[in-house]
Amino acid sequence: MGTSSILCLENGKVFNGLCFGYDGESIGEIVFNTSMTGYQEILTDPSYHSQIVLMTYPHIGNYGINSHDDESKECFVKGFIVREFCPYPSNFISEMTLEEYLIKNKVVGIFNIDTRELTRIVRKEGAQRCIISSKEKDIDRLKEKIKMSPLMKGSDLTLKATCKEIYKIGNKKNRKNVFVYDFGCKRNILNILNQELDVNLIVGPCDTDVNIIKEFNPDGILLSNGPGDPSAATYAIKNVKTLLGYKPIFGICLGHQILSLALGMETFKLKFGHRGANHPVMNLEDRKVEITSHNHGFAVINSEVDGVKITHINLNDDTVEGVESKVNKCFSVQYHPEGSPGPHDSRKYFKKFVKMI
């Protein structure tokens, strides 16, 4: 900790800071998250695959890391940028410091950066590729490495974030069974369905064949969150299109985008995405506003498609936050109803899904 480190952006801007976490080099797409807490959930969220996360809240790490709050079995963030991190956390369930966790998972971090200036650059110029390095000091060499790295647009990352084989959670008799397409599913989505709503789950890889799903004969299908460009996951769009009308479908985040594409809509890349726990979303059916948790860099284009109704709108930028097709027995939301910034503003959609099945 404390050795010099460099953050270089695709636009050529360079920030000098100090290294914490894993001592090395990492390349990814820089994005910012406005949450004040929840850094452990952010680090373990599969939707951050191939991204370097900038925390806008200045003080990170003060409650440490524990073994209960992970959203997956892995740490998916490629790099971590903070203004100031706390090396001595105070929390009765803390098991290690943030830096110890980053070292354990080989995540490169940089601190003592002007995160306000950096956030303004991303807001103005958009999410872009960047590199963090405590090894290479040649700026021209760092810029060349950035140019050689893949763009997020057009990248299908679901195969890298999904489970490897089908597994089951719960096997109670006289309970509904849901097949979960794992595009990079967060653990709390599964916990709510299984532990709170008593649903048996069959979780399968993102490219699970439709015929295999039909052999299980589930009562419903859930399309999970996940990373990457939804339009690049062509196999997933094709499978969901085949499943339309078969059983009720509920899509979350990337699952919402894939469902929308299967219904005939289109997606586009947002300038800097939505990532935080304070996004206001209006439900157009009851005109109520929900405070929601977000993590996505792509969105559905607002357009008219036969049989599809837009149900939710983001009040910050009017982007589509939810769709529904009653004829196809499906609906979706762009945000994370398993997140709790409201704290329970959006939990009702899990209950709606279970009621449908």
Cα 321–chain centre separation: 15
Q: At what angle do helices 234-243 and 254-262 cross, to 10 degrees?
A: 70
CA–CA dist 8, 14 (Å, integer): 5
Told to judge if 253 belongs to the known catalytic residues of this protein, a careful annotator would answer yes
Q: What is the 3-state secondary structure (H, E, C) of 158-226?
A: HHHHCCCCCEEECCCCCCCEEEEEECCCCHHHHHHHHHHCCCEEEEEECCCCHHHHHHHCCCEEEECCC
> Does 336 qualify as catalytic in the annotation?
yes
Residue 4: HSE in the Cβ half-sphere, 13 Å Cα cutoff: 5
| Interatomic CA distance for residues 35 and 292, integer angstroms | 11
Rounded to 5 degrees, what are φ and ψ at 210? -55, -40
Query: CB neighbours of 92 closer than 8 A, spacing ≥ 6?
Result: none
Query: 72 pairs with which residues across the strands?
Result: none
Structure tokens at 129: 């590729």
For residues 212 and 215, give the distance between their C-alpha atoms in angstroms, rounded to a whole number. Answer: 5
**Quick check: is 304 catalytic?**
no
Q: Which of 10, 41, 71, 338 is catalytic?
A: 338
Q: What angle do CA 290, 292, 356 make, to 5 degrees?
A: 75
Distance CA 194, CA 107 (A): 32
Of 253, 256, 290, 296, which residue is the catalytic one? 253
Q: Using CA atoms, how far apart are residues 339 and 41, in angstroms rounded to an integer?
A: 10
Catalytic residues: 253, 336, 338
